[in-house]
Amino acid sequence: MARGDSWKEDLSKTETLGMAKSLKKHGINREAWLVRHLFDESELKQIPTRNGYGDGLVEAGKKNKDIVVLCCDLTESTRSDRFKKAFPDRFIQLGITEQAMASMGAGLSLVGKIPFISSYAAFSPGRNWEQIKTTIALQRSNVKIAGAHAGLSVGPDGATHQMLEDIAIMRTVPNMTVVVPCDYEETKKSTLAGATFKGPFYFRFARAASPSFTTAKTPFKIGRAELFRHGDDLTIIATGPLVWEALLAAERLSEDHGIEARVINCHTIKPLDEKMIVKCAKETGAIVTVEEAQVAGGLAGAVCETLALTVPVPVERIGAQDRFGESGEPRQVQEGLGVTATFIALAADRVLQRKLGHKVPLIPAHILAAQKGLALAQNEILTESLARAPKKWGGTKPDSSLKSRKKA
């Protein structure tokens, strides 16, 4: 992506395309109150976003005695155990019954309780979507649906547990609010906001540790996207833990190529902050969406629908491209599906070329690079698996490894 100073000359031509020019303000937005060592991974805390859910539940429970928590045999994994320990008489363990949990949550809301129903996103809303639609959304029940282990961070559990479709299926449900917090602090804020929000509320969070880069002072309000970085060449609209990857990509684009990308934290997918989306499209003329979910129907779908009706501009989409996930370490899978900073930067390069009217390859470079990386990752995973399997099972380990240990 060798562009150098010529980018600035070319980008000035967007005025002839009728693109509105924003004020020349670049870099991290100080009013976002992000952590000081934003890109220093040795200083940056790595905390699972699910921890924010557990801590938020306890804090919300202290403020309101009507809050109850339901879980489907995943108490520790979802961090619901923290609420259970603090308020055992307001915690209900149901076993593996997500459909019943949704209906029970709706019933509890009818008698004035504020239920948080907790499970893996693959099961809730994955398994109980019909109950959520009928008993919660249709009735406008005041139920909070917490989808844990969403996205790719569940890693080794593979495609069956890597929920990538939840944003799409939940934002199509009438009366439903959909929130995707970006880190521990924002997940805690989302939990507290959900506790006071009236109506059906879905939010998802991840299993693996990720950068905790916002602070208690970072602005957060349901339905309002936040400006995390100034820029006037393009806008990167991201959601969830990948917001940090978007910021990292923007920093690299600035340092290496003089390209200034605006970065928006779009934590609320529904209701979408259409005013912010349109403003960014008018001022920068190019958009890249970033999410750890299917681009069809997810954040990308929401943004593209809005722009198609208002300010059509070039858009590139980072996320799952009509495919399932893979088994592997979380970072390995994220690289394989092309959702990290390197791929975001490639998408930014492509969308800028389109903005300037340049021809681009039919298949985007960021998708080709991800496919190549995924093939290498799959080979590494296969080699590792064969090394742990005996030869009679097709592996490379001696068959003698199958012999049972002698009893002492």
**Who has greater pLDDT, 401 or 79?**
79
- pTM score of the predicted model: 0.91
98, 245, 316, 326: the catalytic one is 98
Amino acid occupying residue 183? D
Report whether pLDDT(66) > 50: yes
What pLDDT digit, counting tens, does each position of 180-195 carry? 999 999 999 999 999 9
What does R_g of the chain's alpha carbons equal in angstroms? 22
In this prediction, residue 317 has a pLDDT band, given cuts at 50, 70 and 90, of: very high
Report whether pLDDT(172) > 70: yes
d(CA 218, CA 226): 9
Among residues of the chain, what percentage have pLDDT more than 90? 81
**Could you check whether the bond before residue 271 is cis, i.e. omega within 30 degrees of 0?**
yes
Q: Give the pLDDT of residue 349.
A: 97
Total of domains in the chain: 2
Q: Tell me, what CATH number does 355's domain have?
A: 3.40.50.920
Is 166 found in the same domain as 54?
Answer: yes
Is 296 found in the same domain as 329?
Answer: yes
Cα end-to-end distance, the chain, whole Å: 64
Q: Give the pLDDT of residue 4.
A: 42
Q: Give the pLDDT of residue 402.
A: 74
d(CA 374, CA 377): 5
End-of-domain residue from the set 153, 184, 211: 211
- Mean local confidence (pLDDT), 20-44: 86
CB-CB contact of 283 with 315 (8 Å): no
CB-CB contact of 352 with 258 (8 Å): no
Within-domain flag for 396: no
- What is the average pLDDT score of the chain? 92
Within-domain flag for 387: no
Report whether pLDDT(23) > 90: no
Is 25 found in the same domain as 71?
Answer: no
Query: Dihedral of the CA atoms 105, 117, 226, 312 (nearest 10)?
Result: -70
Relative to beta strand 261-265, strand 234-238 is parallel
Is 351 found in the same domain as 249?
Answer: yes
Is 200 found in the same domain as 227?
Answer: no
- Mean local confidence (pLDDT), 116-128: 97
- Mean local confidence (pLDDT), 378-389: 85
Q: Give the pLDDT of residue 7.
A: 47
Report whether pLDDT(261) > 90: yes
End-of-domain residue from the set 167, 186, 211: 211
Q: Give the pLDDT of residue 342.
A: 97
Within-domain flag for 228: yes
Is 98 among the catalytic positions?
yes
Question: In the β-sheet with 315-320, what is the strand arrangement from edge to edge?
Answer: 27-28, 226-230, 261-265, 234-238, 287-294, 315-320
Q: Give the pLDDT of residue 397.
A: 86
Is 185 found in the same domain as 136?
Answer: yes
d(CA 243, CA 116): 26
Structure tokens at 321: 């491209």
Within-domain flag for 117: yes
- Phi/psi at 2 (5° precision): -85, 105
- Mean local confidence (pLDDT), 92-104: 96
Relative to beta strand 268-270, strand 177-179 is antiparallel
CB-CB contact of 121 with 149 (8 Å): yes
Q: Does residue 287 sit in helix, strand or coil?
A: strand
Q: Give the pLDDT of residue 156.
A: 86
Is 284 found in the same domain as 157?
Answer: no
In this prediction, residue 305 has a pLDDT band, given cuts at 50, 70 and 90, of: very high
In this prediction, residue 405 has a pLDDT band, given cuts at 50, 70 and 90, of: low
Q: Give the pLDDT of residue 404.
A: 60
Is 57 found in the same domain as 163?
Answer: yes
d(CA 245, CA 247): 5
CA distances from 350 to 52, 109, 215, 230, 234 (A): 36, 48, 33, 20, 11
Residue range(s) defining the domain that contains residue 232: 6-32+223-381
Is 203 found in the same domain as 69?
Answer: yes
**Who has greater pLDDT, 8 or 352?**
352
d(CA 252, CA 305): 29
Q: Tell me, what CATH number does 118's domain have?
A: 3.40.50.970
Give residues with Cβ within 8 angstroms of 358, minimum separation 6. none
DSSP-derived secondary structure for 15-47? GGGTPPPPP---EE-GGG---TTTT-TTTS-EE
- Mean local confidence (pLDDT), 255-271: 97
